[in-house]
Structure 1
Amino acid sequence: MVLPLLAGIRVVDLTKLYSLTTSRLADLGADVIKVEAPPAGDYLRGLPPFVGNAGSMAYLTLNRNKRSIGLDLRTDAGREVLHKLVATADVVVENSPPNAQVKLGLDYPTLRQIKPDLVYCSVTAYGQDGPYAPLPSHSMNVDAAAGEIRIMRGPTGRPEITAYSTVGHSMELGGLEAATAITAALVQRGRTGQGQYLDVAGWDAGLASNQRFLAALNLGSADAAIGASTTGGMGARSNVYGTRDDQVLLIFPVEKHLWQRFCAVVERPEWAERGTWSQTMDFGDTDAEADEALRADIETVMRTRTLAEWMEAFLAAGVPAAPVSDPDQLPTHPHVHARHMVVTAGDVHYVRPPVRLPESEFAITIAPPAFGAHTHDVLDGLGFDENARAGLIAAGAVFAADDGSQP
């Protein structure tokens, strides 16, 4: 079963491409009806890589536990069907550019006339207002604009993205922020009976989580942020190191007592007072040369043991350290299995949502739908009989899969 937290909540999903918002709502038990436009449905269906004959990996992972109806919202009949659907819904989620839904008469003021207590959420790159609002963007564009991508310049002066970039971070956070805001709005609606409009931007989410932005805002310099140092990257005590078996380990003993534990484990107690400390924490030496010298010394020591040997020692001593995981190795990782993070349905493996309920175990009850696989079911639930459904299909207002099979 899906997690039943939102059982009884119906969500009309008008999003295209990447929508973590409606994916989370579906996994939490909401009846998410994905509205897709003919002739081919969501563009995400065509995005490689593909999992055998099952379809796009991105589409599969983001559209499990949803139903699909094919509607041409450019037609009067298609919009009439959508209006009937909204009248039965609790939530509408869309991610089109600002004002795009106004042109179709699918904006919040219009749909609120149909369902006064509707929760309507727009999830966009830059929000509904401001100079960037109309700017076409994909996730990496938003990361760059939100300061999430850091660059360095090589000898020729050509800018290069550093290893500290977090591609897709802003829009992923925006999607999760939207799911949180929607559930909060539903709670408030339960108390007041009032729906509302939610404007969620990936840009805003990226800024809110960007420590360098907060440092620039409050301290006048991004380099004052946690994790930055005059070496241009992470400090020696918060960095990655190679091990004897050519694996990579991240250490982060930035509290003074944890640094002392680290020094004891590596048998270098004389390092305990090296560096400049701010009260009890350190995120980089203010002396760049001293920090670089410490990093070189740590590199030499870390090369003396294997990753497994270091991890055993650090775990025993309570030192914050972690292997830098190779994604190809994670499917067989023991912690992945211990947390039951993989759910298999058919020939496809999925990552379960990060929510645990003692009384419920997550499962995929609706496989990622073929385009229009549930059109007849949804229309039937809205009161359209067989003749009416046939008329809508013949008019091109709706699309239904021939047999409702999965992709």
Structure 2
Amino acid sequence: MPGALHGIKIIDLTRVLAGPFCTMILGDLGAEVIKVESIDRGDETRGWGPPFVEGESAYYLCANRNKQGFTLNLKSEQGKEILKKLISEADVVIQNFKPGTLAKLGFAYDDMTKIKEDIILASISGFGSQGPNSNLPGYDYIIQAMSGLMSITGEKELQPTKVGVAISDVLTGLFTCIGILASLHHRNYSGEGQEIDISLFDSQLAALVNVASNYLCSGNIPERMGNYHPNIVPYQVFSASDGELVIAVGNDEQFRRFALLIEEPILLEETFKTNSSRLQHRKQIEQLIQNKLISKSKSEWKELLNQNGIPNGPIYNISEALQSEQAQSRNMVLDVNHPFIKNLKLVGSPLKLSKTPIEVLRHPPLHGEHTEEIMSKLGYSQSEIEEMKLNHSI
């Protein structure tokens, strides 16, 4: 069965993570995605390693399945003409050049509408098209710093800490995907395309959610709290006899059951009955709980906590998480066919659609793997293709 976005054609002019992550999702959903790369080195992440597998970097492989690989020299006149042809047949163009770069090449949104009146252009940048920082490069690490995310991450006594993955890139990719889907829906009933302006900075600010709201409502600047929650107690890491686990008590009834389970009568006193009062006695509660939890193993506590409806979980490393029974049952590790890599495994999609399930129909493309095929579909002869190769246009 065709995917949910079958019939939608995406021209992907992005590289690194935010854009490629977005277009991979669209490809997973059935859209035709043509990944356009420079003819010399292509997407920078092709060289971001080790680890490499048969010359392909693990970083590049993580965000580029379900795409066709196409190389193009956008500085050449022939290259620009080819891009115009691609746009004329497309529904969406997505790009993450520095703001203004595409316009200098003759492909601003207004230029694209002359090629395809209802085209949708999604532009990703570090800080968006307006503001004093609009011309600055957008690196995830810088965004984590400037958005305030690092100021609330890590232990209070230590340096601010970045999140362990490029979370600002990932969130921006998701917001871009949402914007594209909304724009496609708008076009369905209005016939109009539109331009989408997405920035990493805006995306990360939006993702501060309750922490930002806490500040806007109180005026108090949030601080780093390590593994603690600013609004809930207990909601943190504890040590069992053989390692660490997280316990997240989300309401007063859960706390009552938890106090009974660990057989700590002090916690049933009126002083600790509500979450607001527990916030005022965080350290005392933590010590009482920790004294009890050290008596059993993680697995023993998990079984008891699950039986009593107390949210909890062991702290897995990446291997344990990906190899867990839960991950396997949800098909979150996929075996993907590849022309050179044997037993290529990729992280699966979290989107589980009953009528149009996600399929991996294409491996992450080799550099320029489908250039000749796409050029032929655009109407170029084999001799013209060979000539453009010699001219370094494709």
Q: TM-score, normalised by structure 2?
A: 0.91
Question: Which amino acid letter does the alignment assign opposite residue 390 of structure 2?
Answer: A
Question: Which amino acid letter does the alignment assign opposite residue 358 of structure 2?
Answer: F
1:206-221 matches, within 5 Å, as 206-210=204-208, 211-221=210-220
> Quick one: structure 1 residues 252 and 132, their matched pair in 2 at CA, closer, same or farther if it must change by over 3 Å?
same
- Counterpart CA distance in 2 for 1:283 and 1:374 is 63
> Quick one: structure 1 residues 324 and 274, their matched pair in 2 at CA, closer, same or farther if it must change by over 3 Å?
farther
Q: Does 1:381 pair with 2:377? A: yes
Question: Is the Cα–Cα contact under 8 Å of residues 255 and 282 in structure 1 kept in the other structure?
Answer: no
- Counterpart CA distance in 1 for 2:271 and 2:122 is 49
- Counterpart CA distance in 2 for 1:40 and 1:214 is 43
Q: Secondary structure at the match of 2:177?
A: helix
Which of 273, 276, 301 does residue 310 from structure 1 map onto?
Answer: 301
Give the Å deviation of 1:334: 0.7
Structure 2 residue aligned with 1:372 = 368
Structure 2 residue aligned with 1:97 = 98
Deviations 1:55-106 (Å, cap 9, x if unpaired)? Answer: 1112112111100111000011101100010000000000111111111112
Q: Does 1:187 pair with 2:188? A: no
Q: Secondary structure at the match of 2:237?
A: strand
Structure 2 residue aligned with 1:24 = 25
- Counterpart CA distance in 2 for 1:118 and 1:338 is 40
Q: Secondary structure at the match of 1:160?
A: coil
Question: Which amino acid letter does the alignment assign opposite residue 189 of structure 1?
Answer: R
Instruction: Percent identity, please.
Output: 28
Structure 1 residue aligned with 2:330 = 339
Deviations 1:325-353 (Å, cap 9, x if unpaired)? Answer: 21121232010111121110142111111
> Quick one: structure 1 residues 153 and 343, their matched pair in 2 at CA, closer, same or farther if it must change by over 3 Å?
closer
- Counterpart CA distance in 2 for 1:257 and 1:389 is 70
Structure 2 residue aligned with 1:55 = 56
Give the Å deviation of 1:256: 0.6
Q: Secondary structure at the match of 1:340?
A: coil
Give the Å deviation of 1:168: 2.0
Question: Is the Cα–Cα contact under 8 Å of residues 11 and 92 in structure 2 kept in the other structure?
Answer: yes
Question: Which amino acid letter does the alignment assign opposite residue 136 of structure 2?
Answer: L
- Counterpart CA distance in 2 for 1:113 and 1:315 is 60
> Quick one: structure 1 residues 7 and 232, their matched pair in 2 at CA, closer, same or farther if it must change by over 3 Å?
closer
Of 47-56 and 319-328, deviating more is: 47-56
- Counterpart CA distance in 1 for 2:294 and 2:366 is 52
Which of 258, 261, 276 does residue 257 from structure 2 map onto?
Answer: 261
Question: Which amino acid letter does the alignment assign opposite residue 183 of structure 1?
Answer: L
Q: Does 1:353 pair with 2:352? A: no
Question: Is the Cα–Cα contact under 8 Å of residues 261 and 317 in structure 1 kept in the other structure?
Answer: yes
- Counterpart CA distance in 1 for 2:213 and 2:4 is 34
> Quick one: structure 1 residues 238 and 283, their matched pair in 2 at CA, closer, same or farther if it must change by over 3 Å?
farther
Q: Does 1:319 pair with 2:317? A: no
- Counterpart CA distance in 2 for 1:89 and 1:274 is 64
Structure 2 residue aligned with 1:403 = none
> Quick one: structure 1 residues 167 and 374, their matched pair in 2 at CA, closer, same or farther if it must change by over 3 Å?
closer
Question: Is the Cα–Cα contact under 8 Å of residues 237 and 283 in structure 1 kept in the other structure?
Answer: no
Give the Å deviation of 1:281: 4.3
Question: Which amino acid letter does the alignment assign opposite residue 334 of structure 1?
Answer: E
Question: Is the Cα–Cα contact under 8 Å of residues 228 and 235 in structure 1 kept in the other structure?
Answer: no
> Quick one: structure 1 residues 160 and 256, their matched pair in 2 at CA, closer, same or farther if it must change by over 3 Å?
same
- Counterpart CA distance in 2 for 1:81 and 1:301 is 68
Structure 2 residue aligned with 1:178 = 176
Question: Is the Cα–Cα contact under 8 Å of residues 148 and 166 in structure 1 kept in the other structure?
Answer: no
Give the Å deviation of 1:218: 2.1
> Quick one: structure 1 residues 370 and 303, their matched pair in 2 at CA, closer, same or farther if it must change by over 3 Å?
same
Question: Is the Cα–Cα contact under 8 Å of residues 143 and 166 in structure 1 kept in the other structure?
Answer: no
Which of 285, 288, 303 does residue 297 from structure 1 map onto?
Answer: 288
Structure 2 residue aligned with 1:240 = 237
Give the Å deviation of 1:161: 2.9
Structure 1 residue aligned with 2:246 = 250
Q: Secondary structure at the match of 1:258?
A: helix
> Quick one: structure 1 residues 61 and 259, their matched pair in 2 at CA, closer, same or farther if it must change by over 3 Å?
same
> Quick one: structure 1 residues 274 and 283, their matched pair in 2 at CA, closer, same or farther if it must change by over 3 Å?
closer
Deviations 1:344-372 (Å, cap 9, x if unpaired)? Answer: 01421111111112245433211111111
> Quick one: structure 1 residues 382 and 207, their matched pair in 2 at CA, closer, same or farther if it must change by over 3 Å?
same
> Quick one: structure 1 residues 283 and 77, their matched pair in 2 at CA, closer, same or farther if it must change by over 3 Å?
farther
- Counterpart CA distance in 1 for 2:306 and 2:229 is 29
- RMSD of aligned C-alpha atoms? 2.3
Structure 2 residue aligned with 1:285 = 279
Q: Secondary structure at the match of 2:159?
A: strand
Q: Secondary structure at the match of 1:304?
A: coil
> Quick one: structure 1 residues 111 and 257, their matched pair in 2 at CA, closer, same or farther if it must change by over 3 Å?
same
> Quick one: structure 1 residues 203 and 282, their matched pair in 2 at CA, closer, same or farther if it must change by over 3 Å?
farther
Question: Is the Cα–Cα contact under 8 Å of residues 3 and 358 in structure 2 kept in the other structure?
Answer: no
- Counterpart CA distance in 2 for 1:21 and 1:341 is 18
Give the Å deviation of 1:52: 2.6
- Counterpart CA distance in 2 for 1:331 and 1:285 is 35
Where do 5+ consecutive residues of structure 2 fail to align?
338-342
- Counterpart CA distance in 1 for 2:45 and 2:85 is 26
Of 210-219 and 21-30, deviating more is: 210-219
- Counterpart CA distance in 1 for 2:347 and 2:374 is 28
Of 184-193 and 235-244, deviating more is: 235-244
